[in-house]
Amino acid sequence: MEQYDVIIVGGGLAGLTAAIHLAKAGHEVLVFEKEPYPHHKVCGEYVSNEVLPYLKNLGVDLANFGAVTIDTLKFSTIKGAVLEVKLPLGGTGISRYAFDNLLYKQAEALGVTFVFESVTSITFQNTIFEVITGDSKMYTSRITIGSYGKRSVLDKQLKRSFIQQKSSWLAVKSHYSLDDFPVHEVGLHNFKGGYGGLSKTETGAVNFCYLVSYKSFQLEKGIDQFNEKVVSENPILKDFLYKAKPLFETPLTIAQISFHAKNPVEEHVLMCGDTAGLIHPLCGNGMAMAIHSAKIVSELIDTFLSGKEKDRKRMEQAYAKEWSRTFKRRLWLGRRLQSLLLNETLSNWAISLVAKQPWLLKQLIKNTHGKPIS
């Protein structure tokens, strides 16, 4: 049985960032991830610049890895009405294939241990966590972070309330080659039953990732037909899919995506990133929120492990309070915006209003993004 200060279940952006932060603070960290790096993940691959100062402090400078500078948002309705606006903070385009891998290498260089195996259970007894993997091995720690993504069998094992509710969303992602796609632009384009994002990554490929309701998707037979019959009703997306060349043999998908409210602490496990709460992709900063949540939890864990805060319950309460203060309003606003944009009548009315008063869109962007963190 192996013992660690911190076990992190899930090696995505939140998990890897927390691993780097805690390793730099001198703690023994173990990360579980299902498959070796590098690998692609379903993701919008646009990260708000609010987290760049913090990443640099951790020794990760995205500019050194060819990440794309993005300063403009292009928004379109189902019928193709278009609005463009400069992003207040701007963002960065980088694939999860590259981003996760560079964080992994930084964590590994700092002495973080990695086990590429699924976790089947997490239990807390007498101040110690017991984490069991699919091959029945047990690992223990004083602290466990859950950063395993949008949905997992662990949610059932931990009896999380949201997992009992129906989830009616599917995400689809693929990379495309299109030379004349605007380098510094991120697109947010609506279609019946969903919406998708377009932006360039460090390789020059364009990432197209969309979210769609099952109700809409199941009317067609497969992704190709759905793209042709539904997604392409938006003329912007129709033009893109006609001109662009797919680079993946088959698109990546993830099902049963839940936007229901979640608790940031469950059975003493500290939840990070999408595991703590999933923001709608249209808000454009899910990657930044995952990284920011890792910063918040890592700082509080460090105070506990170093003995500055000896009461576990107070540490957990402090995390839940700070997580709510930082993200709860953004998540609420994301749900409201989604309801608006998926209603064609309201969406067309809203973009007409914003076209006359562009400051409204800038204000929405500010309210779904944070300030730079260091």
State yes or no: pLDDT of 359 exceeds 90. no
Which uninterrupted H or E stretch holds 317?
helix 312-341
pLDDT of residue 18: 98
Q: Cα separation of 197 and 320, whole Å?
A: 30
Mean pLDDT of 333-345: 69
Q: Cα separation of 247 and 176, whole Å?
A: 5
More confident residue, 328 or 361: 328
Query: Bridge partners of 145?
Result: 8, 270
Mean pLDDT of 49-57: 94
Tokens 């309701």 correspond to: 213
* pTM summary value: 0.92
Which uninterrupted H or E stretch holds 84?
strand 82-93
Q: What is the band of 332 on the pLDDT scale with cuts at 50, 70, 90? A: confident
More confident residue, 58 or 190: 58
Mean pLDDT of 66-81: 89
Residues 6+ apart with CB under 8 A from 336: none
Q: What is the band of 160 on the pLDDT scale with cuts at 50, 70, 90? A: confident
Query: Bridge partners of 207?
Result: 175, 199
Encode pLDDT of 261-304 as tens digits. Answer: 789 999 999 999 989 887 666 566 789 989 999 999 999 999 99
Residue type, 3: Q
Q: What is the band of 77 on the pLDDT scale with cuts at 50, 70, 90? A: confident
Contact yes or no for 124/133 (Cβ under 8 A): no
Q: Where on the phi/psi map is residue 230: left (φ > 0), alpha (ψ -120 to 50), or beta? A: alpha
State yes or no: pLDDT of 341 exceeds 70. no
Encode pLDDT of 16-28 as tens digits. Answer: 999 999 999 999 9
Beta strands in 147-279, from DSSP E residues, in sequence order: 169-177, 185-191, 194-200, 206-213, 245-246, 252-257, 265-266, 269-271
Q: What tokens does 172 get?
A: 């689809």
Mean pLDDT of 133-144: 96
pLDDT of residue 281: 61
Q: Cα separation of 322 and 297, whole Å?
A: 9
State yes or no: pLDDT of 253 exceeds 80. yes
Encode pLDDT of 202-211 as tens digits. Answer: 999 999 999 8
Encode pLDDT of 86-107 as tens digits. Answer: 888 889 999 999 999 999 999 9
Q: What is the band of 345 on the pLDDT scale with cuts at 50, 70, 90? A: confident
Q: Cα separation of 110 and 26, whole Å?
A: 9
Comparing C-alpha atoms, which of 194, 366, 183, 229 is closest to residue 284?
366
